[in-house]
């Protein structure tokens, strides 16, 4: 089985659309700045990857994750040509880590009103062109790729022939503060796979794709989704397990009908944390074998921060652009790769040009929730 990606949309700290974000990644841009949502003087960490879209500078406002979700979904439906009344109404599956937690914080501190229904993304999406029932899934940082897997199930079960899959998160102060206390070192930037990495730095954004039954919309495919695999080992709340990651990658390859040597590009999870980067590197070394057989590999969180529930889907969308353009963005913030990543084909310094047909996308979350997707370039579809 396979499914067509016929529309994409995204918002992040480095751009307000898919082309803008991809161009920023290729140029080595980074959305790093001092937090604007709250006073960073309370914390050791003083940086984040925020979207600078507040109407009143220095004053936070509710509903921003929902705002970006609507924008990303609208972009994806427009690109797919399904944003008009004749395009029908399609279910929306939203992966998230925090939902509208920041909105609840603002209500708790008396800075903004709150209606309980505003915490449900379906309230905001109801009545939007092309949008049907909305469902929310909280699978930590693998949420949007888990939602993608469920989208393929809906199509395969004939419950829908077209599905919108999305992810969104804004930075909540409670989460920023928690990270500030549980991370031993104080990160000044998110630096995937770098020896000097100090931990995760949160980012903001939303991503959306329109997924359709293969061949349903001739000429509209941006890429073809070949397979999605998920697993959960639940061995440790925060420490990823290389064996479980490797198992998810192999399962994704099996479902996609590809071999490791068929993969040209890997979009890494790459959180810049001590345990995740080592575990992911070890799993990739196990799966891909000898250095001369390994694909190019990159990670986008050094530029966008960790966008939590939507991060996997944002990487997948950037993979569709990379496949289409034959260009792989560099890993922002990577200067001195960790020993475990030796020979992995990490793209550093500047964008790499190469013929690309197949891409793997990694997303891993707390509790051992792993999701891996495999894409094929549109020309090969």
For the chain, give the percent of residues with pLDDT over 90: 87
Q: What is the pLDDT of residues 125-145, one digit of tens each?
A: 998 889 999 999 999 999 999
Whether 171 contacts 102, CB under 8 Å: yes
Mean pLDDT of 211-240: 91
pLDDT at 56 over 90: no
69 in Cβ contact with 111 (< 8 Å): no
Helix (H, G, I), strand (E, B) or coil at 334: coil
pLDDT tens per residue, range 88-99? 899 999 999 999
Which DSSP helix (H) or strand (E) runs through 317?
helix 311-325
Compute φ and ψ for 325, nearest 5 degrees: -100, -10
The CATH number, out of the four listed (1.10.150.20, 3.40.47.10, 3.20.20.70, 3.30.70.1170), of the domain defined by the range 3-380: 3.40.47.10
What is the pLDDT at residue 380? 57
177 burial via Cβ count (<10 Å: 0-12, 13-18, 19+): middle
pLDDT given at position 23:
98
For residues 169-189, give the mean pLDDT.
Answer: 95
Tally of CA atoms within 13 A in the half-sphere of 9 that contains its CB: 25
pLDDT at 256 over 90: yes
CA torsion angle for 275, 277, 280, 286 (degrees, to 10)?
-100
**What pLDDT was estimated at residue 294?**
82
Mean pLDDT of 35-56: 92
Contacts of 34 (CB under 8 A, 6+ apart): 40, 46, 47, 48
How much is the average pLDDT of 53-81? Answer: 94
What is the rounded end-to-end Cα distance, in angstroms, of the chain?
Answer: 12
Helix (H, G, I), strand (E, B), or coil: what is residue 160? coil
User: Which residue, 260, 74, 273, 106, is CA-closest to 191?
Assistant: 273
162-169 vs 205-213, strand pairing mode: antiparallel
Contact 43, 180 (CB under 8 A): yes
The single residue listed with the structure tokens 């700045």 is 33
pLDDT digits (tens, 9 = 90+) for 184-219: 999 999 999 999 999 999 999 999 999 999 999 999
pLDDT confidence bin for 239, thresholds 50/70/90: confident
Note the pLDDT of residue 58.
Answer: 78
For residue 43, what pLDDT band results from cuts at 50, 70 and 90? very high
- Look up the pTM and report it: 0.97
Q: For residue 105, give the nearest of 167, 63, 66 by alpha carbon.
A: 63
Rounded Cα–Cα distance for residues 42 and 264 (Å): 44
DSSP label at residue 153: H
pLDDT value at residue 368: 84
Give residue 25's pLDDT: 98
pLDDT of residue 85 exceeding 70, the answer is: no
- Mean pLDDT for 42-61 is 92
Q: Work out the mean pLDDT of the chain and round it to a whole number.
A: 94
CA distance 37 to 103: 11
C-alpha–C-alpha distance, residues 375 and 223, integer Å: 7
Q: Residues with Cβ < 8 Å from 114, sequence gap 6 or more?
A: 62, 103, 104, 106, 107
The pLDDT assigned to 236 comes to 72
Q: What is the mean pLDDT of residues 218-222?
A: 95
Q: pLDDT at position 83, please?
A: 85
Residue 277 φ then ψ, to 5°: -65, -40
For residues 302-309, average pLDDT: 98
Averaged pLDDT, 107-132: 92
pLDDT at 290: 72
Please give the pLDDT value at position 297: 98
Helix pair 311-325, 143-156: axis angle to 10 deg = 70
What pLDDT score was predicted for residue 379? 64
66 has pLDDT over 70: yes
């Amino acid at each position: 089985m396979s499914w067509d990606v016929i529309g994409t949309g995204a918002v992040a700290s480095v751009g307000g659309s898919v082309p803008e974000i991809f161009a920023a990644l290729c140029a080595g841009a980074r959305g790093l700045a001092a937090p604007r949502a709250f006073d960073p003087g309370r914390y050791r960490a003083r940086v984040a990857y925020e979207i600078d879209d507040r109407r009143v500078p220095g004053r936070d406002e509710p509903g921003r994750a929902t705002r970006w979700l609507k924008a990303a979904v609208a972009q994806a439906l427009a690109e797919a040509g399904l944003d008009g009344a004749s395009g029908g109404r399609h279910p929306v599956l939203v992966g998230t880590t925090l939902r509208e937690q920041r909105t609840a914080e603002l209500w708790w501190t008396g800075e903004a009103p709150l209606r309980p229904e505003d915490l449900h993304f379906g309230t905001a999406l109801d009545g939007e062109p092309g949008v049907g029932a909305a469902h929310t899934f909280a699978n930590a940082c693998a949420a949007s790729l888990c939602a993608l897997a469920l989208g393929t199930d809906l199509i395969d079960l004939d419950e829908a022939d077209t599905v919108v899959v999305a992810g969104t998160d804004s930075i909540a102060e409670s989460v920023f503060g928690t990270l500030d206390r549980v991370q031993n070192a104080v990160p000044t930037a998110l630096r995937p796979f770098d020896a000097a990495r100090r931990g995760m730095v949160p980012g903001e954004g939303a991503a959306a794709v329109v997924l359709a039954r293969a061949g349903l919309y001739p000429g509209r495919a941006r890429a073809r989704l070949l397979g999605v695999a998920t697993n959960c080992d639940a061995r440790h709340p925060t420490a990823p397990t290389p064996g479980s990651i490797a198992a998810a990658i192999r399962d994704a390859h099996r479902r996609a009908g590809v071999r490791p040597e068929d993969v040209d590009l890997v979009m890494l999870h790459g959180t810049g944390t001590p345990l995740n980067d080592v575990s992911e590197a070890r799993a990739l070394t196990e799966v891909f074998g000898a250095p001369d057989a390994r694909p190019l590999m990159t990670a986008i969180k050094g530029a966008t921060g960790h966008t939590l529930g939507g991060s996997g889907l944002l990487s997948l969308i950037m993979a569709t652009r990379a496949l289409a353009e034959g260009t792989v963005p560099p890993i922002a913030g990577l200067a001195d790769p960790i020993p475990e990543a030796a020979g992995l084909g990490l793209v550093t310094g500047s964008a790499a040009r190469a013929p690309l047909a197949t891409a793997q996308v990694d997303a891993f979350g707390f509790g051992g929730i792993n999701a891996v997707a495999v894409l094929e370039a549109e020309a090969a579809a």
